[in-house]
Structure 1
Amino acid sequence: MTAAVVLRWLLWPVLAATGSAALAQGCPETDPEAVALLEALAGRAGAVSYEGVLTLQRGNSLRMMALRHRVDGDLVSEDLTLLTGQEAQVVRGDHPLDCDSPGQQLLRAAALAQGECGLAGHYRISTGPGERVAGRRAVRLLLQPRDMYRYGYVFELDRESAVLLKGTVLGAGGRPLEQFQFASVNIGGDAPAASERPTAAVVHRTAHAHPAAPQAGPETGLGWTPGWLPAGFVPTDETAAQSVRRSYTDGMATFSVFVERLGEPLRPGEGVVREGSTVSYTRGLTLGPDPVLITVLGEIPVNTARMVADAVQRVR
């Protein structure tokens, strides 16, 4: 899971372009300069090859990894290899460079033309003095949540390429929950081809599924729907009414809801596991006559996860 978290960080590269003029006119407390910078940087980061060694700190856990991001024509591939602890690797190959995820689509000018603010409707976006990271000068982007249902973020982006050099997730009171940063990085060179990359004992290959295509998977045998979601969160893909899992994003954070049918009710109670910015919240409920186990897993505060779980409803 740790390797997948880092890939998520690096596939954000400030996510997507926005319409700075529309944001400046229609969204409150939005710094037009910061949004213009976001727009200028967002489209470039994924289109350049880079490789380096990075660290990921989540609570008291510190991991070191090697990342290679290779662009070949209109396709991009990544591999992330753990250098400490378990010998493992995550590989994502031949991903279309121009493919937008639902999170990216939230930030496109099309949404702004409909009077929506996109990401700026839920985060205050501003700039600040950048650091030197891995020997390179960075520019800082700050995203402060407008409500209590999501975390804040601080990004340090390379001034020349817009590659994300460092990222921090901030909890209540600005407390760092999770931090990724490059220790060394080479940007713009030819990253090694797949045949030249090191391999690990355990290799996980991620699949590229189209967001609009229905996702096959286990079903609960009962229909359900989230009765409440934080403002701005939308489904990441199409799922059946009786699917065990559904996932949601606001363009920055992502979480999934799992509903599993049980043979008998659980005793009252809840379970919470937190690692860095990721929470796993579990509790037993009854939907109509059926006892179920509901789990909310993702990068949201525990109170948000609790509210999402409590609001799950049965539908016919």
Structure 2
Amino acid sequence: MRAIPLLSLLLGGWLVLPAHADDAQDQLKRLTQAEQQQSYTGTFVYERNGSFSTHRIWQRVADGKVREHLLQLDGTPQEVLRVNGVTQCASGTLEEGASSVPDSAARAFDAARLSSWYDIKSAGTSRVAGRLANVVTLTPRDQHRYGIELHLDSETGLPLKSLLLSDKGQLLERFQFTDLNTSQSLTDQMLSPGADCKPLEVVKSKPDAPKQKVEWRSNWLPPGFDLSSAAARKDPDSKDLVTSLMYDDGLARFSVFVEPVSGAAVTDIRTQLGPTVAVSRRVSTARGDAMVTVVGEIPIGTAERIALSMRDDAAATSKN
């Protein structure tokens, strides 16, 4: 389960405490192990852009598999079932954003790598859902990523609370358990989704299908962000080649989508919902115009600079 970060009014006070970077990095390593090895059930709240939702989660680790069942308790029931980070089924609006690709949010923190881009510190203790927690802060070393405050269960290392903060200390997103049980035996029934949870279709490419070459690249990236995946496919309707690129710094991530506009009237977009931004810019190349869209949990100014930095290598080659 992904830890989703948040602001505390006491943050300024915690930061004056002695910092123990080694302890903080050890806590991040323990978090990674806990998410992959610890069975539990609990209820948590999720806040973004002033909107709250409540969720129930069951996670069972057995026979080498991490099985996770997530159910939204507010409004129309929505649920997701994942096995080893791969979504098996989803319902409601969660179905639209579900993917049969392994969820990299079930991440393995590389503390050494992250320390190059974040100032990682232990910041005292707190109490969340009736449990003692160790507080770890990750403060960005530049303006291209958000800050994170983690409250990690002292007993198991699981994230009890996670806050995502802007450069001004403004709360962007909150994840927080209201109860957590790590001793309850989880039954098959608890891990079984309802009838409305629709299985995801796994789209498999034909073995003899030629792979499309990715011809777009970024001419500028924030320090620390590397390309983690790249793909190009033909749109079944327009037959245009659509490129998708994903980048991450070991914690934050964003995606870039590029699609030819073929003279169509399109409008630039600049929007933000909580920590998630979406920026679309029309870019001209020797082969024609394309719409570049950057989506991710990064500051909006950074997303705009990335969008404008995209280059079509094939167009440059053909021009020469």
TM-score of the two chains, using structure 1 as the length reference? 0.76
Query: What is the alpha-carbon distance in structure 2 between the residues aligned to residue 62 and residue 200 of structure 1?
Result: 26
* Structure 2 residue 225 is the aligned partner of structure 1 residue 233: yes
Retained in 1: the 8 A contact 2:230–2:246?
no
Aligned-pair Cα RMSD in Å: 3.4
Please tell me whether the aligned partners of residues 90 and 203 of structure 1 are also in contact (alpha carbons under 8 angstroms): no
User: Residues 127 and 260 from structure 1, CA distance in 2 versus in 1: closer, same or farther, beyond 3 angstroms?
Assistant: same
Partner of 1:246: 245
Instruction: Find the counterpart in structure 1 of residue 25 from structure 2.
Output: 35
1:240 positional shift: 5.0
- Equivalent residue, structure 2, for 1:18: none
- Structure 2 SS opposite 1:121: coil
Relative distance call for 1:64 and 1:100 in structure 2 (3 A) is closer
Q: How does 1:1-316 map to 2 (within 5 A)?
A: 7-9=1-3, 31-95=21-85, 107=110, 117-193=112-188, 196-199=191-194, 201-203=196-198, 205=200, 223-240=215-232, 244-264=243-263, 266=265, 270-316=268-314
Residue deviations 1:74-123 (CA, integer Å, cap 9, x gap): 11121211111343212211459xx9969957727xxxxxxxx4110000
* Cα 1:89–1:43 shift into 2, 3 Å: same
Distance 2:103 2:275 in 1: 24
Deviations 1:146-183 (A, max 9, x none): 00000000001100101111100000211110001011
Letter in 2 for 1:302: I
CA distance in 2, matches of 1:217, 1:250: 31
Residues 294 and 141 of structure 1: is their aligned pair in 2 closer, same or farther, counting only changes over 3 Å?
same
Structure 1 residue 294: deviation in Å? 1.0
| 182 and 203 in structure 1: CA distance in 2 versus 1, 3 angstrom threshold | farther
Structure 2 counterpart SS, 1:173: coil
**TM-score (structure 2 length as normaliser):** 0.75
Partner letter of residue 153 of structure 1?
A: I
Q: Deviations over 1:232-263 (max 9, x none)?
A: 11222353596521111111111100001111
Provide closer, same or farther for how the CA distance between residues 222 and 205 of structure 1 changes in structure 2, counting only shifts above 3 A: closer
Cα distance in 1 for residues equivalent to 2:226 and 2:20: 22
Question: Structure 1's 72 and 194: CA in aligned 2 closer, same or farther, altered over 3 A?
Answer: farther
Equivalent residues, number: 276
How far did 1:36 drift?
3.1
Q: Secondary structure at the match of 1:38?
A: helix
Superposed displacement of residue 132, structure 1: 1.3
| Deviating more after overlay: 280-289 vs 140-149 | 280-289
Worse-matched range after superposition: 236-245 or 132-141: 236-245
Question: Which structure has the greater CA radius of gyration?
Answer: 2
Distance in 1 (CA, whole Å) between partners of 2:56 and 2:259 is 37
Q: Aligned to 1:71, what secondary structure does the other structure show?
A: strand
Which residue is 2:14 aligned to?
none
CA distance in 2, matches of 1:206, 1:159: 39
Any idea what SS the aligned residue of 2:231 has? coil
CA contact (8 A) 2:216 2:243 kept: no
Q: When you count helix as a share of all residues, which structure comes out higher? A: 1
CA contact (8 A) 2:152 2:160 kept: yes
Alignment partners' CA distance in 2, 1:63 and 1:291:
41
Task: Give the percent of matched residue pairs that are identical in Structure 1 and Structure 2.
Answer: 30
> 1:75, 1:251 → 2: CA distance?
23
Unaligned runs of at least 5 residues, structure 2: 6-18, 87-101, 234-240, 315-320
CA distance in 1, matches of 2:143, 2:289: 30
Moved more, 54-63 or 181-190: 181-190
Gaps of 5+ in 1: 1-6, 13-28, 109-116, 210-215
User: Cα distance 1:264–1:222, how it changes in 2: closer, same or farther (>3 A)?
Assistant: farther
